Amino acid sequence: MTKFDEATQAIRIDETTYDVCLDPGYSIGGPLNGGYLMAVVLRAVVDDSPFEHPVSTTSQFLKSPVPGPAQVRVERLKAGRTAAFTRATLVQDGVSQIESLVTTATLTGAEPLYSDKPAHVMPPPEECVKLPNPKPESNMTLNAQMELRFDPPTIAWLSGGPTGRPESRAYFRMTEPQDADPFVLALAVDALPPVVFSAGLRGWAPTVDLTWHLRALPAPGLLTLIGGGRLISDGWFDEEVEVWDSAGRLVAQSRQLARVGRG
Amino acid sequence: MTKFDEATQAIRIDETTYDVCLDPGYSIGGPLNGGYLMAVVLRAVVDDSPFEHPVSTTSQFLKSPVPGPAQVRVERLKAGRTAAFTRATLVQDGVSQIESLVTTATLTGAEPLYSDKPAHVMPPPEECVKLPNPKPESNMTLNAQMELRFDPPTIAWLSGGPTGRPESRAYFRMTEPQDADPFVLALAVDALPPVVFSAGLRGWAPTVDLTWHLRALPAPGLLTLIGGGRLISDGWFDEEVEVWDSAGRLVAQSRQLARVGRG
């Protein structure tokens, strides 16, 4: 069991309730990372489902839960022949923190009938760059859990030269060796810095809701995250991330709606 | 009040319940169109919200409700300063049919800070083609409610020549003159024939879940629907639709996960 497996563990205590313990190691400057929190919720949902894989997950981020004990309440809305529908709520101190709708099914790993290609060709990993380690006082503990190697132009905002477009692209793997699974993918779809940093914006950009689809089980090896956005308007932006595995397969697709930071 | 306004009316009967009447005029060969059903749900959610616009909607299609009376049950999960979160369930004969999570906010119509362009340039409307009227026995009553004019290659599957890629593009307007509003957009994001028809597939392709984001209030005039997909695999496909208004603004973005038909 890896540290990530442990940090996302969900222990059933009755028909509809799982105990979880939110780990301080997934903080992004205070709040816990949304992808990590979705992984925790999905552990409970998948355990409760007759199917193996969370093919679709939508989460609304109502509040920012703090590290420590919490519960996931699951309610099976329907279980059909090929898919089940579950409503799941992450609750802390009696208050709903995250509301999710999850569709589970069982993917077989069949060859795709059709697959498009990534919208961007990444340079090889050795030409990509790591971010400097965050200062301890920044409380960016998430950064230690994963290794991101960025396509250089998409991280140029750090040195003052944003590309002018919402974009962020990186290779991803867990720092502790672990083959990617659907829970790691939940983390991966929310692992990039906000795509709007590349468009010249800064500051805290809270996710309001995020939907992601698991499209295939990832092969072992590096994942590639291709992030972009279509519109920054009225204080809102969209962020889309595609996750491609080392075998060149599209394994996850996400879109989140987030608020533009004021910082 | 247009026929569409009437067909999506939701009348509050108590704190958490709205009465609706599902209209047989939105049938796609038997089942009612998912976009129409989302519009009905959103009428209730928006009426109940302190904010005006449904900026994010996710619906899980548990069952196929039939024309006739139904209820929408709304539960306000949180109302903050700039957004509210609502869970809504479409119930018929005591059985949940559609489960939704909706985020509402108020869009102001400010000029975008950044906007990408449509991925495809459409030919002018006069070079686009209408589908022949469906046979009455097909029970495709939806077709009479809206006018779609298709980018010719993306409808070539009808005459036996699919492009080999999941895609569908069309101009859209309501048959009864009506300026597009968020409820019309809910219909628009699910109005195209399944994008997989262009990839050579046929048959009933049921939507399992659909998430769409309202990004701006549409200007009067024709809407442009740009539909595509990234992967057809394991019996599932994704369908993304962008809706652009007559002023060239991105007004809605959707992604649905659907089952490949067997027909």
Mean pLDDT throughout A112-133? 95
SS3 category, A141 = helix
Question: How many Cβ atoms sit within 10 Å of the Cβ of residue B1?
Answer: 7
CA distances from A143 to A18, A26, A200, B10 (A): 27, 8, 22, 47
User: From the CA of B243, how many Å to the nearest CA of chain A?
Assistant: 12
pLDDT at position B36 is 98
- Between the CA atoms of B63, B67, B71 and B74, what dihedral angle is there, to the nearest 10 degrees? 60
Give counts: helices (H), strands (E), chain A.
3, 14
CA–CA separation, B177 and B159 (whole Å): 30
| Residue pLDDT, tens place only, A59-111 | 999 999 999 999 999 999 999 999 999 999 999 999 999 999 999 999 998 89
Residues of B in contact with A250 (CB under 8 A): 230-231
Q: Report angle CA A162, A163, A167 to the nearest 5 degrees.
A: 100
Q: Which residues in chain A have their CB less than 8 angstroms from residue B108's CB?
A: 234
Q: What is the CATH number of domain A3-107+126-259?
A: 2.40.160.210
Q: Are B228 and B195 in contact (CB under 8 A)?
A: yes
Residue A33, both tokens: 């990372």
Residue of A77, A87, A231 for testing the chain B interface, max B β-carbons within 10 Å: A231
Counting as low any pLDDT under 70, the low residues of chain B are 262-263
Q: CA-CA distance, B61 to B207, in Å (whole number)?
A: 7
The CA-to-CA distance between both ends of chain B, in Å, stands at 39
Contact B232, A113 (CB under 8 A): yes
For A137-164, the pLDDT digits (tens) are 888 999 999 999 999 999 999 987 999 9
Res A160: pLDDT:
78
Q: From the candidates B196, B236, B239, B242, which should be mutated to test the interface with A, based on the most A CB atoms within 10 A?
A: B236
The architecture in CATH of the region B3-106+122-259 reads Beta Barrel (2.40)
Q: Residue A263 above 80 pLDDT?
A: no
Contacts of A217 (CB under 8 A, 6+ apart): A53, A107, A109, A181, A182, A251
Predicted local distance difference test score (pLDDT) of residue B262? 66
Nearest residue, CB atoms, B87 vs list A85, A99, A216: A99
- Measured between CA atoms, the residue of chain A closest to residue B83 is A208
CA pair distance B189, B210, nearest whole angstrom: 9
Taking only the tens place, the pLDDT of each residue in A165-185 is 999 999 999 999 999 999 999
CB contact under 8 A, B109 and A234: yes
Q: What local confidence, expressed as pLDDT, does residue B64 receive?
A: 96
Q: Give, in order, the Cα–Cα distances in Å from B150 to each of A185, B68, B218.
A: 37, 32, 20
Chain B CB contacts of A232 below 8 Å: 112-115
Q: Examine the pLDDT at A204 and tell me if it is beyond 90.
A: no
Residues of B in contact with A119 (CB under 8 A): none
Beta-strand (E) ranges in chain A? 11-14, 17-22, 53-61, 68-79, 83-92, 95-105, 114-115, 146-150, 167-174, 207-214, 223-228, 231-233, 236-244, 250-259
Contact B215 A231 (CB under 8 A): yes
- By CA distance, what is A214's nearest residue in B? B257
pTM: 0.97
Mean pLDDT taken over chain A: 96
Determine whether the interchain pair B83/A208 forms a contact, defined as Cβ–Cβ distance below 8 Å: yes
Interval A1-30 mean pLDDT? 97
pLDDT for A262 equals 67
**Looking at CA atoms only, how far is residue A90 from chain B in angstroms?**
12
How far does A115 lie from chain B, in Å, by closest CA? 4
Angle at A60 between CA A20 and CA A47, to 5 degrees: 40
Q: Do the Cβ atoms of B235 and A58 come within 8 Å?
A: no
Q: Per-residue pLDDT tens for A214-244?
A: 999 999 999 999 999 999 999 999 999 999 9
Q: Can you tell me the mean pLDDT for A4-15?
A: 98
